[in-house]
Structure 1
Amino acid sequence: RSAMPMFKAMEACPDAVVVKPNMDKYAKVGREVRERMRALTPLVEPISIDEAFLDLTGTERLHHATAAETLAAFIRDLEEDIGISASVGLAPNKFLAKLASDLEKPRGFSVIGQAEAKTFLADKPVGMIWGVGKVFQKTLAADGIETIGQLQTMDGTDLARRYGAMGLRMARLCQGEDDRTVTPSRGAKSVSNETTFNTDISSFDKLRPILLDLSEKVSRRLKKEEISGRTVTLKLKTNEFKSITRARQLQDPTQLADRIFRAGVDLLEKETDGRRFRLIGIGVSDLGKSEQADPQDLLDEGAGRRKQAELAMDTLRDKFGKDAVERGLLHEARLNKPAKPGS
């Protein structure tokens, strides 16, 4: 199913052929699609690498076409120019648009009008309402509520009294009402990278080189986008799907893999207490310009040498490719990595 962790997919289908992901390629195409969206309207709110809300209100005169015609031409051009397909949900608000976009994937084009919204929603399960997860669905089911139509017949005040803020939200959404506006992106708030393991890992020594690899990926993006960050955040997920985040604020902003990794390792060491982890990630936030990044460290005499070594490695990678040179820790980890069956 969609979004299943790879190790779970391999357990279910051990003979599956897995194509290695290419996140650089996905990000590049995602940015191109985003720019094409902004050519239609300045009101574009990204919600993931491949999904966004667009507000096309008032653009009919600009494009000499209705919103439906504009979007149909948009997804046709995506297929012809870039070679990817897309699904569209057209509706008067975010809630209905999101529902519409999921109706006929792939290559779907669904429209929900305000007049038919209430009827359309009536026989749908309550789980289609944004924010109603599996646990809350059980709570509603215990109260005899399983469809959105049942919510439509209930008084909003009663829903709020019984379910608090979530009750108020359901009272509006079940009627097809959503006053959230499309808010254009103001730029990234953080830069991060993470990976999910095929098998759970508890060993600090095994997690350490993975963390270094992720730190280098974050560093490359910071340098490429000429930004830096002051707060380093470690993310872990246990084999029981419990998420753990730990953060450390640096004295100065950084874009160096060395500093990101060292902060991450300190945080990681405190968490490797025998628990098994299925995911690890590292990120940098409190972003700013690169000019203020990584001044001379008077307390760490080796910091300057490590910085120069890292910049020299960047130069070699730019010239000969990203695999031209790597740190000893990563090289050792790759040499000791067990071979895949059949390789």
Structure 2
Amino acid sequence: MEDLANYRKILHVDMDAFYASVEQRDDPSLLGKPVVVGGRPNSRGVVSAASYEARKYGIRSAMPVAEAARRCPDAVFLPVNFKKYREVSWQIREIFLTYTPMVEPISLDEAFLDVTGSTRLFGPAEDIALTIKLRIRQELSLTASVGFACNKFLAKLASDLKKPDGFVVVHPDKVQEFLDPLPIERIWGVGEKTAEQLHSHRINTVKDLRSLELKFLTKLFGSLGSQLYQLARGIDDRPVESDRVVKSIGRETTFESDIRDGDFLEKTLLMLAIDVGRSLRKEALRGRTVTLKVRYDDFRTLSRSRTIHRATDLDDVIFQEACSLLSELSLKQPLRLIGVTMSNLTDQHENQISLFEEPRLERENLTKVLDLVKEKYGEKSITRARLL
């Protein structure tokens, strides 16, 4: 076996059925029951998470909630509680940061960790991984699956192989032994259409894929072909990026029934703008580009964007721009979804000072007070009169 000291030591930590597991932990009566997080059974939302008991019925993330209810009428259906999941995610991240500053969150429930420089202080990387798993179980009453390898691609694959509560190590001299039997669908970038093309050439496993020449793959798939060639050999040089730049912050909602009423849509935009503004302030960011997204009842999806002169994190400004964009769209057809996103982000302190600061500063101070009240007394402790 090759000496691990010569390789990067990368962990991929993936929480098991995260949202559903948090709900089962907080309500012990749900333990052992099929739990679906995503909305009421008659809603038009999609499944955000399904407990392992629910997965036995074929229920998966992104499946329509109505389909999940058809497959398992006795399942417990719960709304998504992002505030709770974010808080637990931060608790998990605090555990990660105990062992390395090189943490790259991918979502609320998964992250890459580079523990290459941590072994002198905390011992072998495998011990660090097992300690993290143990602390998550003991301190948060949740389970995580961990993959350990010399790069991100292999660590991610490894973490997914023995869920739940898995731990898989891919040693550098066992990479092809690990990869070759896997179906090609396990490779990043191989979606349904790419898989169909590969199957048509009798390429079903990673070993089959590795038999193809680079020239053939690039002719077939362009730049993706080069990526497939590298990944089939377990090659991935991407570093763990501990300070990933947030490129956009957005929120959207799918209506229970199709909506064409302008006043209702504006109220919804206000709620979304408030949520986006608060998220920007939490991240100490401001945005200059407002994007409105709508989906009509026939599933046609449109988006419209506008870049404003001065970056902002103020709810009212985001709301006003979103409403202006909405007014430019046809509402002859009802909408089933609406969303607001802020992009072109910048640090709060990078904005140019205006000659007319006082009114804006008053609004900023008021917004900060509202944020503090909600943090201390809950989301419903104070709200806009229009939303009552």
Query: What TM bracket, shorter-length normalisation?
Result: 0.7 to 0.9
Point out the more displaced range, 21-30 or 235-244: 235-244
- Consecutive unaligned residues of structure 1, counting only runs of 5 or more, are 332-343
2:387 aligned residue:
330
2:18 aligned residue:
none
Structure 1 distance, partners of 2:323, 2:75, is 34
**Cα displacement (A) at 1:100:** 0.7
1:32 aligned residue:
91
2:330 pairs with 1:249: no
2:103 pairs with 1:44: yes
Go from structure 1 to structure 2 and tell me whether the alpha carbon gap of 1:28 and 1:319 turns closer, same or farther (over 3 Å shift). closer
Task: Report the secondary structure of 1:124's partner residue.
Answer: coil
1:234 aligned residue:
292
2:280 aligned residue:
222
- Which of 53, 73, 81 lines up with 2:131 in the alignment? 73
Letter in 1 for 2:387: L
Go from structure 1 to structure 2 and tell me whether the alpha carbon gap of 1:76 and 1:267 turns closer, same or farther (over 3 Å shift). same
2:6 aligned residue:
none
1:248-296 CA-to-partner distances (Å, cap 9, x unmatched) read 2122222221111111122223334445544332222323216849968
1:39-88 CA-to-partner distances (Å, cap 9, x unmatched) read 3222222211111111122422121x211110100111112112222110
Letter in 1 for 2:159: S
**Cα displacement (A) at 1:91:** 1.3
Structure 1 distance, partners of 2:303, 2:127, is 45
**Cα displacement (A) at 1:313:** 5.6
Task: Report the secondary structure of 2:222's partner residue.
Answer: helix
2:198 pairs with 1:133: no
2:153 pairs with 1:95: yes
Structure 1 distance, partners of 2:319, 2:158, is 43
1:200-236 CA-to-partner distances (Å, cap 9, x unmatched) read 4455444322221111112223334443222222233
Q: Would you say the 8 A contact 1:189–1:287 is kept in 2?
A: no
Point out the more displaced range, 311-320 or 43-52: 311-320
Q: Would you say the 8 A contact 2:267–2:386 is kept in 1?
A: yes
Letter in 2 for 1:18: F
**Cα displacement (A) at 1:152:** 1.3
Work out the percentage of aligned pairs sharing the same amino acid. Answer: 38
1:154 aligned residue:
212
**Cα displacement (A) at 1:124:** 2.0
Structure 1 distance, partners of 2:257, 2:73, is 13
Structure 2 distance, partners of 1:240, 1:122, is 43
Letter in 2 for 1:150: D
Structure 1 distance, partners of 2:304, 2:73, is 34
Go from structure 1 to structure 2 and tell me whether the alpha carbon gap of 1:123 and 1:199 turns closer, same or farther (over 3 Å shift). farther
Task: Report the secondary structure of 1:72's partner residue.
Answer: helix
Q: Would you say the 8 A contact 1:255–1:293 is kept in 2?
A: no
**Cα displacement (A) at 1:307:** 7.5
2:170 pairs with 1:112: yes
Q: Would you say the 8 A contact 2:104–2:244 is kept in 1?
A: no
Structure 1 distance, partners of 2:100, 2:214, is 35
Q: Would you say the 8 A contact 2:295–2:336 is kept in 1?
A: yes
Structure 2 distance, partners of 1:17, 1:192, is 28
- Which of 48, 53, 61 lines up with 2:120 in the alignment? 61
Go from structure 1 to structure 2 and tell me whether the alpha carbon gap of 1:209 and 1:7 turns closer, same or farther (over 3 Å shift). farther
Task: Report the secondary structure of 1:188's partner residue.
Answer: coil
Task: Report the secondary structure of 1:87's partner residue.
Answer: strand
- Which of 223, 234, 238 lines up with 1:180 in the alignment? 238
Q: Would you say the 8 A contact 1:6–1:198 is kept in 2?
A: no
Point out the more displaced range, 127-136 or 117-126: 117-126
2:45 aligned residue:
none
Task: Report the secondary structure of 1:137's partner residue.
Answer: helix
Structure 2 distance, partners of 1:128, 1:86, is 20
2:71 pairs with 1:18: no
**Cα displacement (A) at 1:187:** 4.5
1:110-145 CA-to-partner distances (Å, cap 9, x unmatched) read 112232222332232211110111122122223332
1:171 aligned residue:
229
Point out the more displaced range, 164-173 or 266-275: 266-275
Go from structure 1 to structure 2 and tell me whether the alpha carbon gap of 1:204 and 1:123 turns closer, same or farther (over 3 Å shift). farther
Structure 2 distance, partners of 1:10, 1:74, is 35
Task: Report the secondary structure of 1:62's partner residue.
Answer: helix
